[in-house]
Amino acid sequence: MRTTSPGSGGFLHVMRTTSPLSAAAWCSIRISRSRSSAVPCGQALRCTTRLRHASRVAALRIPPPLRERPFRARDALADGLVSRRRLLGPEFQRVLHGVYVVAGISIDHGVRCQAARLVLPPESVLTGHSAAWWYGVPFARDDDVVMVARPPGTRVDGPRGIKVHRTPVQVEDLAIVDGMRVTSPVRAAWDVSTLAQPAPALAIVDGLLHRGVLTANALDLRLACGAGTWGVTRAREIFNLADGRSESPSETQVRLTMHRGGILPPVLQFEVRVGGKFVARVDFAWPDRRVILEYDGAHHAEVLQMGRDRRRLNELVNAGWVVLHATAADLRDPTVLLRSLRSALARPAA
């Protein structure tokens, strides 16, 4: 990621692309599925090879300005780069109303931000989770709306998929990241805390702290300057809970759930050692109670990871720790998890 000052410009180079899929490629897929059992092996191979060649040729026919980034349909049509019939065909896909990319490009939140840039006035600024995406905190889902800040008094419009927030944006709140006009990390944290739900907002602020683009001192200063302004109560709750040691949105949500359930604050990413020897680094720990809580994401169900987890669990139990586990189901209904934590933490330490 390359960051420049607001006045120095910059080139847009963050893209997540795969090879474009043309009509010929889709034809190849359909033929391989429907005729694979009926066509002799050699003949099927020759047919697939010809179709793949046709796919590459078709991709090369797409003008270079349209290949790697979103473009406005009206500009491409006016410049004669593509016909309307071809634009609506299988070679292209729509990102926002009037904005397209080549088929095969993964439309993640970053691509949606690039598309929004093409249809909004130049004074518009990405903020909240959209600005955080460009700071290396890609927690926004692919289908999340693009969050944009614009000065009060300006005309507010935009296609579906863009949420415009009318608010003053000071010069010190502006930055240019990879050619994109975004709010500063602390302003992005403020906006997401005041406009979004607490769990995703806290995950974004945690992520900005974890990346090192935001500091706790900057959050404290922003709270002091924002005293009495709209949304300061919501921002204060998020800022006071934020912790850069959190390593995933799920861990953040577990921490928020424990806070709301009245559980004592844990130590994050605690290193367990026995006789000076490293045993494990755990998600949450209460060292004085010798209680550990681990969040098990989907990858913990993999066979190899499961074996490592069991060996690690045995070492922790042998060292005298009570080890509890949380899953996605506990985030949906934390009743049992909170009850287990209260019980474990109420026991005298061994």
Distance CA 135, CA 214 (A): 10
**Backbone phi and psi for residue 324, each to the nearest 5 degrees, phi listed first:** -110, 155
Q: Let me know: does 221 contact 184? Beta carbons within 8 Å.
A: no
Strand segments (E) across the chain: 3-4, 71-72, 92-96, 99-102, 125-126, 146-150, 162-166, 174-177, 180-183, 267-274, 277-286, 291-295, 322-326
* DSSP structure string for 221-286: HHHHHTTTSTTHHHHHHHHHH--TT--SHHHHHHHHHHHHTTPPPPEEEEEEEETTEEEEEEEEEE
| The pLDDT value given to residue 311 | 86
Distance CA 250, CA 91 (A): 37
User: What contacts 24+ positions apart, CB below 8 Å, involve 87-93?
Assistant: 89/23, 90/21, 90/22, 90/23, 90/26, 91/20, 91/22, 91/23, 91/58, 91/62, 92/66
Distance CA 298, CA 320 (A): 27
Q: Let me know: does 198 contact 238? Beta carbons within 8 Å.
A: yes
Task: Tell me the domains of the chain and their CATH numbers.
Answer: 110-241 (no CATH), 251-346 (3.40.960.10)
Find the radius of gyration of the CA atoms of the chain.
25
How remote is the C-alpha of 32 from its chain's centroid?
A: 35
First to last CA, the chain: 48
Q: Let me know: does 164 contact 213? Beta carbons within 8 Å.
A: no
| The pLDDT value given to residue 347 | 86
| The pLDDT value given to residue 159 | 78
| The pLDDT value given to residue 61 | 85
Distance CA 209, CA 192 (A): 14
Residue 329 is given by DSSP the state: H
* Encoded tokens for 350: 């061994």
How many other CB atoms sit within 10 Å of the CB of residue 310? 10
pTM for the whole thing? 0.79
How remote is the C-alpha of 98 from its chain's centroid?
A: 25
| The pLDDT value given to residue 6 | 44
Q: Let me know: does 109 contact 138? Beta carbons within 8 Å.
A: yes
| The pLDDT value given to residue 59 | 54
Nearest to 268 by CA among 299, 290, 246: 246
Virtual torsion, Cα 69, 72, 77, 79, nearest 10 deg: -70
Cα dist from 223 to 131, 183, 227, 234, whole Å: 20, 17, 6, 11
Splitting the chain (350 residues) into consecutive groups of 10 residues, what average pLDDT does each group show?
Answer: 44 36 36 39 46 45 89 95 94 95 94 95 94 97 94 73 91 95 97 96 98 97 91 96 96 97 96 92 96 81 64 90 94 96 87
